[in-house]
A = this chain, B = another copy of it.
Amino acid sequence: MRLTQFSNFAVRILMYAGLRGDGPSTIPEIARAYGISLDHLKKAAAELGRLGYLKAVRGRSGGIRLAREPEAINIGEIIRQTEDKRNLVECFDPETNTCPLHADCKFRFALEEALEAFFSVLEKYTLADLVDERDKLAACLNMKISRRFPDGAEIPVAAIKPSEGCR
């Protein structure tokens, strides 16, 4: 059983944008940070835009940023949208099913219940939960981040060397 690369990349883009905070990120920068294919990342970012999780920032130092607060981005909700439930087994899609047991099959019912449990666990988490250790993750990704304080001041976080925790 394998999560699609699409879902995996979608969450990684959101984590990167969440770590960046208010500033924009670019897709090539995210591709470099994770060491993954630019083309696949572009597709995932476009879909995240369409789904209302990312928005474009225009201009010379433009890019993408989160369209909502990290607390309002539910991980289970994203994965439900990026994973097609019908893919789990052939018989989940009436159009591809060839199994004669389809209508009465309790294995199918058990798999549906199991998949629901999978999504439900992910629904307990928001993007804010995934990026709460901001400095540590940013260091692993070699990101230069700044921190905004309640009085509006924005202070660059001193470059932290990637720790042994990375990889």
- Partner among B99, B117, B124, B133 whose Cβ is within 8 Å of the Cβ of A118: B117
Number of interface residues of A (CB under 8 A): 59
Interface of A: prevailing SS: helix
- Is the CB of A104 closer than 8 A to any CB of chain B? yes
Measured CB to CB, the nearest residue on chain B to A141 is B100
Partner of A121, one of B2, B99, B114, B131: B114
Q: Which residues of B contact A111 (CB under 8 A)?
A: 3, 122
- Contacts A88-B1, A117-B118, A118-B118 given: A102-B167 contact, CB under 8 Å? yes
Binds B, one of A20-28, A30-38, A64-72, A146-154: A30-38
* Stretch of A7-15, A39-47, A52-60 lying at the B interface: A7-15
What is the CB-to-nearest-CB distance from A147 to chain B, in angstroms, rounded to a whole number?
A: 18
CB <8 Å contact, B8 and A89: yes
Closest chain B CB from A128 CB (angstroms): 10
Q: Is A161 in contact with chain B by the CB < 8 A criterion?
A: no
Judge whether A140 and B88 touch: CB under 8 Å: no
Whether B122 and A114, one on each chain, are in contact in the complex, defined by CB atoms closer than 8 angstroms, is: yes
A100 contacts across to B, CB distance below 8 A: 33-35, 140-142, 162, 166-167
Task: Decide if B166 touches A102 in the complex (CB within 8 Å).
Answer: yes
In the assembled complex, how far is the CB of residue A16 from the closest CB belonging to chain B, in whole angstroms?
10
